[in-house]
Chains A and B, each alone.
Chain A
Amino acid sequence: MTESAFATVLIALIGGALRVSTPFMFVALGECLTEKSGRVNLGLEGTLVLGAMTGYAISYNSGSPWLGVLAAGCAGSVLGAMHGYICKLPRVNDIAVGIAMMLFGTGVAFFFGKPYIQPSAPQLGAISLGAWTGNKEIQAALQINPLLIIGIIVGLLMAWAFANTKWGLIVRMTGDSAPSARAMGVSVDLVRFLCTTAGGFLAGIGGAFLSLYYPGAWSQGLSSGQGLMAVALVIFARWSPVRCIVAALLFGAAGAIGPALQSVGITQGYYFFNAAPYILTLLIMIASAGSKHAARDVPGELSITK
């Protein structure tokens, strides 16, 4: 590989990381909030798909992509609220409900999304951060969607809130020990319900990014496991919102390997490079499961790491 081709790949990787990482970031932050409260929502994959469909449909019908983003968040919070309510019932397993919600959300999205596969909806705009350089490739790579910035702000805000506010303390306490939360007079079910709903809202926004910015159209194959990878990503990020942001960027870069290599003419093994994020997730899970750091940071009530 020549030097310029290497630079092209590197720039494409950075651009890809900035572009592809946003849905990972939103889903991971949503899941992080849910898991901090002591519950696992595996259904965010379905939430992501439903958010993508809702965002696209509303953007198409109203002409405003930002209204679409809001609607996607609301659709996501409806699914989150369903999950939160069902898991409140005694003897109901939150992981199994997550799988069911994954099927349900995907099914509903495909069902109502059929008429929106053809028409093109107004898309979200981009902010160009590459004006300082004359290089076209770098300029293209630094086209940033406002949602990425919003995601980073939400992540930082969450990290601050967990550490410094009463609400953050309540969420962490509920996640670490339900009995102590009850002793403090906190309704465990209510906290978890609200956290799952808010988590669904964030995941829905992540879905809107998929259909309204990149790849930028609604289709049935839009999400291929990003929602699920984000759940694994939270384990890797050890339940820290800031580390979730970094991990999402890393996953974005992994997801950009295939297209980046294709841009310099390496098409051999395209499918393998496309599988890179899954392989990376699996390797990270193998490496981080059972590590002492993870054992220290995991919310005590969580069923996923037991």
Chain B
Amino acid sequence: MAQIAEELPTPLVSASHWADLSVRVRRGAEYIVIPLLALAISALLFSLLLLALGKSPAEFFALVERGGFGTAFSIQNTLQRSSPLILTALCVALPARIGLVIIGGEGALVLGGFASAVVAIPLVLGKAPPLLTLCIMASIGMIVGAIWIGIVGYLRYARGVNETISSLLMTYIGIAIMNFFVEGSLRDLTNPNKPSTMPIGDAYMVGNIPGTEVHWGLVAGIVLAVVLYVLLSRTTFGFAVRVAGGNPRAALAQGLPVGKLIVICCAIAGACAGLAGFFEVAAIQGRANASLAAGYGYTGILVAFLARHNPLAVVPVAILFGGIVASGGLIERRMDLPDATVLVLQGLTFVVLLMSETLYGRFKIFQVRGTADRT
């Protein structure tokens, strides 16, 4: 019993500004150190796997470094690939803050990209101004993505349909819808190789950031990440979302419109993934076809979890994984490993990361007296 008396919070009223800062730093450090530890452990386990196969882990990580971050070219390639990852990770992170695990970003990306490619066809044929065309394409991509994930949120709230399963089912349905049109009525018959929609043409493509080979999607991703961070942490809406995510009953008791918040969160999330699809079409592919479903949506899930669903942290984590994805081809060629190597590394990291959840609050160094009620 004496223990309890000792554990009572020390009054922080007298605490100076500096003490307050140290508390915040210590609490924040836990959220950085533990994920980094998880990354290190999964790298170690992966090295053991490579050793068991007679491959050199040192060579692997050297190739990741070279293929992802070593040269100016590879850094630009990495940034190029991290832009859809930022956007699809935001698609997971935002609903996660209201307590939903949505893993259907891939579907919203594919359909958003497809819709923007389709809406571009009459505009390109009618020789509309490129900037206007791109704005319309981006809006349509975002709207379609928003509707797609918004449906998942609505079903969750209105019918109690499990959002994780329904969002993944919606992904399969979305890819089927795209294939139906791309191999059917909207197929560009002048292209015999791969079923695709009509190309939008070079004049209508999104350009690169001046002085680089990186398209504007990266800027859009970073801006959106910052906007969503501010939205979540500095606005009434964000506060309501976090309350509803922490305790839906308390939120309802406070009169918060939980259903509306869920649908809005899902819609914003879907819009992010739809925008990723737009950039894949308008900056990389130039048309919609099956290569839109390249797995960015699934890697985005891992990025969001590693970033602990913090929109700002999503950006560096996405760049890290963009580098790993970008170096995949090099690793495949140099080390004679299957292309699924990156997938194994991702899966392993994900599993270890979730295991590390159990470590929070276990290390004394991060625990500050009187602040045991972490949120």
Contacts and interface: CB of A to CB of B under 8 A. Distances in A.
Given A103-B350, A269-B180, A89 B344 contact: no
Q: Interface of chain B, helix or strand or loop or mixed?
A: helix
Contacts of B368: none
A99 B165 contact: no
Kindly name the residue among A97, A100, A271, A305 whose own CB sees the greatest number of chain B CB atoms within 10 A: A100
Interface residues of B, number: 44
B80 to A, nearest CB: 23
Given A42-B164, A232-B169, A92 B357 contact: yes
Contact of A93 (B169, B179, B350, B354): B354
B344 A108 contact: yes
A290 B301 CA distance: 28
Given A82-B351, A91-B358, A225-B169, A103 B346 contact: yes
A281 interface: yes
Contacts of B69: none
A279 B180 CA distance: 15
Contacts of A225: 168-169, 172
Given A91-B357, A97-B354, A107 B169 contact: no
A160 interface: no
A115 to B, nearest CB: 9
Given A224-B172, A225-B169, A290 B160 contact: yes
Interface size class of A (residues with CB under 8 A): 35 or more
B31 to A, nearest CB: 14
Interface in B183-224: 183-184
Contacts of B341: 111
A285 B152 CA distance: 12
A65 B180 CA distance: 36
Question: Which of B103, B164, B301, B348 has the most C-beta atoms of chain A within 10 angstroms of its own C-beta?
Answer: B164
Contacts of B340: 107, 109-111, 114
A305 B164 CA distance: 11
Interface in A30-86: 42, 46, 82, 86
A172 B161 CA distance: 24
Contacts of B164: 42, 95, 99
Given A107-B346, A114-B340, A101 B173 contact: no
Interface of A: 42, 46, 82, 86, 89-93, 95-97, 99-101, 103-111, 114, 224-225, 228-229, 231-232, 235, 268-272, 274-275, 278-279, 281-282, 285-286, 289-290, 304-305
Interface of B: 101, 103, 155, 159-162, 164-166, 168-170, 172-173, 176-177, 179-180, 183-184, 298, 301-302, 305, 337-341, 343-348, 350-351, 353-355, 357-358, 360
5 contacts: A96-B354, A110-B338, A111-B337, A285-B166, A289-B160
